[in-house]
């Protein structure tokens, strides 16, 4: 810690620009305030946040999820439908899982890479058995979970199952708290390949130790079980609400001075592109009190960061906003073996148009996000199936470099290009994937041009491939701007191949706000 202090006092602190800028405010604050217990705690917390910004993260040591996991989950489409008499084709049951397993194989989803088949909440009896073991619902899963696993494995799929770290699941079924070792042993006996551990009905501050402990138990079974955590999703907003007011008050004077003197310029995140002290306090507090992503990435293969996605365009945009606004805090912790999870794919349900479905598929590919379908494969419309099975887009998502892409351009205010965004991802072969997203509601496609800087691409000559096959390949010269025409609430998604190799490649940075 002392070494970090000595380096940063000179404003030569290594790491992202945000670390240097926050450090300047902290040192100003320390000069102006008496060192009380509260301010000491704040200072140490900020120093810890700075150290996290400059540190890397190691993967969960189970050899799984070296690319973002792909599969199918029940929740978004089938929720907690348990009345099989009223809804025989939709209830969470053995029949639904067998039918979906067959369709994943026969309709080409497994061949495309969707290998996990997961049952979310509502598969249990309301009480544990006499031996305290978890009991699947006896009517809806009459043959038990081992039989389900056998059926899934016989089709070369992998079996996923939901549980909750609390006393009860979110829908009120038995959780694992107090029975962690017994339940992990049961999962291994059932030959589960993927555990999604939710975070309802438990003190959020127990998660920092509890989730890693369950991960260690899973590893100790000797069975390779992918570990999906909901740990940070339950801490993000709770922590910020709990502490932001105090942090904003304590930093008030030093923040105001920094703003007046023009030292805070922001480093890309929309949280930091501000004109007043309230937004600055919010940004600093988000660093100080955000979940411990270094530990999360060490102990989980993937983790839900934020709210559940719902079946609507507005919900999809809300998730995209959160990931764009918080990318500087979370993107560096994603990589082979450990992934940020913006939640399930809505594609094939009721809430998205075809263009909007392409937006989600493209942005999830840029984010290196898990691709988890949650739709009825038996009624999937061909145009949505085509999006889900697009091998070019899946290849972007599964790129072995595993580097999460960034939102690099956003135009929110009035004027030309209002409502447009650019999301860019660097790929292992030296190429780049770039998604141009329109949030506009015009009656026709919107034409715009973008510079290399706005796309965060090295200036070079490129061959440009349309990943949704809407236009032929074209060439982009190093002295040109890139023209694009985007449908309302739609996307254009391209891969930029360098026509010649050179050494001026640089990774994408955070938002440019026009």
**Strands across the sheet with 371-373, in order?**
339-341, 302-304, 226-229, 194-198, 158-164, 116-119, 70-73, 371-373
Kind of pairing between the strands at 339-341 and 194-198? unpaired
Other C-beta atoms lying within 10 Å of the C-beta of residue 261: 10
Residue 111's contacts (CB-CB under 8 Å, 6 or more residues apart) are: none
Ramachandran region of residue 108, left (φ > 0), alpha (ψ -120 to 50) or beta?
left
Residue from 92, 185, 195, 184 nearest 136 by CA = 92
Other C-beta atoms lying within 10 Å of the C-beta of residue 121: 21
Question: Would you say 113 and 394 are in contact if contact means Cβ atoms under 8 Å apart?
Answer: yes
Q: Which helix (H) or strand (E) holds 72?
A: strand 70-73
Kind of pairing between the strands at 432-438 and 116-119? unpaired
Question: Would you say 81 and 87 are in contact if contact means Cβ atoms under 8 Å apart?
Answer: yes
**How would you label 59-76 residue by residue, b for 16+ Cβ within 10 Å and e otherwise?**
bbebebbebbbbbbbbbb
Tokens of 481: 């701007």
- Known active-site residue 193: no
Question: Would you say 307 and 316 are in contact if contact means Cβ atoms under 8 Å apart?
Answer: no
3-state secondary structure 155-203: CCCEEEEEEECCCECCCCCECCCCCHHHHHHHHHHCCCCEEEEECCCCC
Distance, in Å, from the CA atom of 120 to the CA atom of 374, rounded to the nearest integer, reads 10
**Strands across the sheet with 512-513, in order?**
474-476, 462-466, 491-498, 432-438, 420-426, 406-410, 512-513
3-state secondary structure 104-167: HHHCCHHHHCCCEEEECCCCECCCCCCCCCCCECCCCCCCHHHHHHHHHHCCCCEEEEEEECCC
Distance, in Å, from the CA atom of 462 to the CA atom of 450, rounded to the nearest integer, reads 14
Residue from 388, 295, 398, 287 nearest 344 by CA = 388
Distance, in Å, from the CA atom of 360 to the CA atom of 298, rounded to the nearest integer, reads 27
Angle among Cα 208, 214, 215 to the nearest 5 degrees reads: 90
- Known active-site residue 308: yes
Distance, in Å, from the CA atom of 259 to the CA atom of 87, rounded to the nearest integer, reads 59
Q: Which of 308, 461, 466, 480 is catalytic?
A: 308
Q: Which of 121, 183, 198, 343 is catalytic?
A: 198
Can you state the angle between helices 277-289 and 17-32, rounded to 10 degrees?
100
Active site residues: 198, 308
């Amino acid at each position: 810690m002392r070494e970090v202090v000595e380096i940063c006092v000179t404003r030569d602190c290594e790491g992202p620009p945000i670390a240097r800028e926050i450090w300047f405010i902290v040192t100003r604050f320390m000069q102006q305030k008496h060192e009380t217990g509260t301010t000491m705690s704040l200072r140490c917390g900020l120093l810890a946040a700075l150290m996290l910004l400059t540190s890397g993260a190691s993967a969960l040591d189970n050899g799984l999820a070296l690319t973002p996991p792909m599969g199918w989950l029940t929740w978004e489409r089938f929720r907690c439908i348990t009345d099989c008499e009223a809804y025989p084709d939709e209830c969470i049951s053995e029949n639904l899982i067998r039918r979906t397993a067959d369709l994943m194989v026969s309709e080409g989803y497994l061949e495309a890479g969707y290998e996990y088949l997961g049952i979310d909440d509502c598969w249990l009896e309301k009480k544990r058995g006499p031996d305290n073991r978890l009991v699947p619902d006896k009517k809806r899963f009459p043959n038990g979970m081992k039989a389900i696993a056998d059926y899934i494995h016989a089709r070369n799929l992998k079996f996923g199952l939901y549980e909750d770290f609390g006393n009860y699941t979110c829908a009120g079924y038995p959780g694992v708290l107090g029975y962690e070792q017994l339940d992990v042993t049961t999962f291994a006996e059932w030959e589960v390949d993927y555990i999604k551990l939710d975070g309802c009905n438990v003190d959020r501050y127990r998660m920092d130790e509890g989730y890693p402990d369950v991960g260690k138990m899973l590893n100790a079974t000797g069975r390779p079980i992918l570990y999906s955590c909901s740990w940070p999703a339950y801490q993000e907003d709770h922590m910020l609400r709990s502490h932001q007011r105090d942090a904003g008050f304590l930093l008030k004077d030093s923040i105001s001075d920094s703003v007046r003197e023009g030292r805070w310029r922001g480093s890309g995140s929309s949280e930091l592109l501000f004109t007043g002290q309230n937004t600055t306090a919010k940004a600093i507090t988000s660093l100080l009190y955000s979940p411990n992503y270094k530990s999360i990435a060490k102990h989980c293969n993937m983790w839900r960061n934020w709210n559940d996605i719902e079946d609507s365009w507005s919900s999809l945009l809300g998730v995209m906003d959160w990931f764009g606004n918080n990318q500087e805090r979370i993107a560096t912790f994603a990589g082979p073996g450990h992934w940020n999870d913006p939640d399930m794919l809505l594609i094939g349900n009721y809430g998205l148009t075809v263009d909007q479905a392409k937006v989600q598929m493209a942005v999830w590919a840029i984010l290196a996000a898990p691709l988890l379908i949650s739709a009825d494969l038996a009624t999937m419309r061909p145009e949505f199936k085509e999006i889900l099975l697009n091998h070019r887009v899946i290849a972007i998502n599964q790129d072995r470099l595993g580097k999460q892409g960034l939102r690099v351009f956003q135009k929110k205010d009035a004027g030309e290009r209002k409502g447009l965004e650019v999301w860019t991802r660097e790929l292992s072969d030296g190429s780049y994937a770039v998604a141009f997203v329109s949030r506009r509601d015009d009656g026709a496609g919107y034409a715009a041009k973008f510079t290399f800087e706005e796309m965060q691409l090295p200036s070079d000559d490129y061959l440009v491939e349309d990943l949704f096959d809407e236009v032929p390949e074209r060439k982009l010269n190093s002295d040109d701007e890139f023209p694009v025409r985007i449908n309302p609430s739609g996307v254009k998604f391209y891969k930029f191949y360098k026509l010649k190799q050179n050494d001026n490649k640089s990774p994408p940075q955070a938002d440019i706000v026009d």
